[in-house]
Amino acid sequence: METNHQLTGSGTSGAADDDSPWTGGPGLVRSLWRYRLVIVAAVVTCAVLGFAASLALPAQYEAQADLYLRDPGSPAVLTLKDFNHSGTGDHTLFMATQASLAGSDTVFGRALQILGRGGAASDLRSTVTVAPSTDLASVTIHASSDDPVEAAALANAVGTAYVQVSGERLAAATDAAIRHLQDVIAPRNVELDSLKARAARASGTEQAALERQALYVADMIGALQANQNDVAAQAALYGSGVETFQQASPPTTSSQPAPALLALLGGLFGLVLAGGWAWWAAGRDRRVEAEEDAGAILGVPLLGETPQLGAELRGTGGPRTPPGELDPVAAEAYHFVLASLEHALSRVGGKVVAVASAGQGDGKTVTVLNLARAARREGRTVRLVDADERTRRLSRLWGDGGEHSEVIDLGHAGEEAPAVALVGTVSQNGSGEQDGPSERNGHHPAVFVRSNAFSELISPSDEPADIVLIDTPALLDVSETVAIADRADAVLLVVNRGTSLSDLRRARERLAFTDTPLVGYLLNRGLSKRPYADVGGRGPRTHLWRWAAGRGEDAV
């Protein structure tokens, strides 16, 4: 037999052997899909916790009052000293200035007086915010409190305080402007009286000049008086500068906590947290996702990929359920694998194949059955050996009867078959029932598989077969699989999609202890895991090998 050099060469190294959780691992979407149940549980849990936290927090109510300001008015009002800081006429700057005034200590202090509350103006800053509206149409006052009535009263008090303070500031600025104009007019009146008196005493050209000067001063005094009247009129019209004060009403619902919002935030937090964990976990526990994943570790070619089979075709319907017929696409997949396997066998010069897998439930038993059926349809004689004592699933799938005469047709129903498979127990004299190794002096099953009796069982001289398929136990679960592989001419490894790459590395290391070459692997699309402890409710069995040998006649 050839040395299994494929398992130890440099070809086994690659990106799949990199143990870094952040390089070469599955993508984010695959990671999330792999751990979707964990992620859903985390999202739901965090959402429930967020909702529960919202119920535990004290309720907060928010009231809103709006101050719609008048257009600042004429330039006379706009230029009033200490009143309008928007000397440029910029509306944005004007609204920002008025919002700043509404949020000043002066207004907040007046609001406390209106509410009849003590304390400093700074006490309101944690519960009251003032800012221009987004459309610059108003100054908005937001007030929050654990009492909806108090929240509305607080917002209205700040608005009322602004109206009062703004009106007082306008009145003061108006009085100052009028007094300033009066101070300018008074000396002009004195000058006018003097010019009139001098003109009355003069004559001729001098009198005419003095009268013209008097007329000029009189016009100036008239203009100043008109300006004074305009300032008073604009101030009266402008008032406090508030065109409409839309007072706040007590809110009917609380703004904090928001159960739906906190539940949503909790769910998003759970999604991010669980998604990050899933990505990390998928990187640490990489699995077979694509065809090249297993090949990078095993260093052998892919012989074929088989489709996922239903429960009936997997033989999980009960111990006496025969394997169902495959659809043409699935059947052709096994024919393809058989052709690749026979080509690999021709290179090693043998016909006995140990069909193994890293773990239990990877689909090796179903693979053995369907490869036998494919060979049977091609007119080949097939010998099947059930070497998995703990499950005896190969035997149970072909019928759980222990009679040597029981026959199962491997061909299509109603089709004339060139060969049949006989299923029964093997005994020391060729008939009846044989005790398993565990019942013979307490020997381990490996004792039997290393014996000449096992060699004669798998390849008897009187009943030759074209190909012998041995259903072996899982490599990583029991010790005798390597001993079984030693008796074969080649090893075919069945790899299930989703198999851990670390398990494949361990399986590769186990196969390195046999000289039997690993000729390739078969990628299975996915079968449900079935531990050794769960064998259809029957538990571990002591009967050993069941086998099927081609007879070259139709099945009955």
Cα distances (Å, whole numbers) of residue 336 to 339, 349, 382, 495: 5, 20, 17, 16
∠ Cα 74 79 83 (to 5°): 105
Band of residue 273 on the pLDDT scale cut at 50, 70, 90: very high
Q: 3-state secondary structure string, 22-59?
A: CCCCCCHHHHHHHCHHHHHHHHHHHHHHHHHHHHHCCC
Lowest mean pLDDT among 41-55, 65-79, 299-313, 523-537: 523-537
Whole-number pLDDT of residue 142: 93
Band of residue 24 on the pLDDT scale cut at 50, 70, 90: low
Are 384 and 327 in contact, with CB atoms under 8 Å apart? no
Whether residue 26 is preceded by a cis peptide bond, meaning omega within 30 degrees of 0, is no
Whole-number pLDDT of residue 443: 60
Lowest mean pLDDT among 80-84, 155-159, 167-171: 80-84
CA nearest to 270, candidates 47, 114, 537: 47
pLDDT at residue 353 tops 50:
yes
pLDDT at residue 500 tops 50:
yes
Lowest mean pLDDT among 60-69, 309-318, 374-383: 309-318
For the chain, the structural domain boundaries read: 5-19+287-550, 26-57+257-285, 58-246
Question: Which residues make Cβ contacts (< 8 Å) with residue 374, sequence separation at least 6?
Answer: 331, 334, 335, 337, 338
Listed in sequence order, the DSSP H helices in 66-147 are 75-78, 91-102, 105-115
pLDDT at residue 312 tops 50:
no
Average pLDDT over residues 318-345: 74
pLDDT at residue 321 tops 80:
no
Whole-number pLDDT of residue 32: 82
Residue 124 to residue 108: CA distance in whole angstroms: 7
List, for residues 403-443, the tens digit of each pLDDT value.
332 222 223 323 333 233 333 333 323 332 333 344 444 56
Architecture (CATH level 2) of domain 58-246:
2-Layer Sandwich (3.30)
Q: When comparing pLDDT for 190 and 259, which is higher? A: 190
pLDDT at residue 282 tops 90:
no
Lowest mean pLDDT among 60-69, 452-461, 531-540: 531-540
Average pLDDT over residues 60-81: 69
Query: DSSP assignment of 339-362, as one string?
Result: HHHHHHHHHHT--EEEEEESSTTS
Query: Which phi and psi (to 5°) does residue 493 adopt?
Result: -100, 125
Long-range contacts of 89-94 (CB under 8 A, 24+ apart): 91/136, 92/132, 92/136, 94/69
Are 291 and 523 in contact, with CB atoms under 8 Å apart? yes
Whole-number pLDDT of residue 479: 84
Average pLDDT taken over every residue of the chain: 75
Whole-number pLDDT of residue 25: 59
Going by the DSSP 8-state scheme, the letter that residue 400 receives in this structure is -
Mention the CATH class of domain 5-19+287-550.
alpha beta
Q: Do domains 5-19+287-550 and 58-246 have the same CATH topology?
A: no
Band of residue 449 on the pLDDT scale cut at 50, 70, 90: confident
List, for residues 184-213, the tens digit of each pLDDT value.
889 989 988 888 888 888 888 888 888 898
pLDDT at residue 77 tops 50:
no
Amino acid at 539: G
Lowest mean pLDDT among 101-105, 296-300, 459-463: 459-463
Band of residue 398 on the pLDDT scale cut at 50, 70, 90: low
pLDDT at residue 255 tops 50:
yes
Average pLDDT over residues 475-501: 89
Residue 102 to residue 109: CA distance in whole angstroms: 11
Q: When comparing pLDDT for 181 and 4, which is higher? A: 181
- Torsion over CA: 547, 553, 555, 556 (sign): negative
Listed in sequence order, the DSSP H helices in 202-312 are 204-238, 259-284, 291-298
Whole-number pLDDT of residue 355: 94
pLDDT at residue 383 tops 60:
yes
Band of residue 117 on the pLDDT scale cut at 50, 70, 90: confident
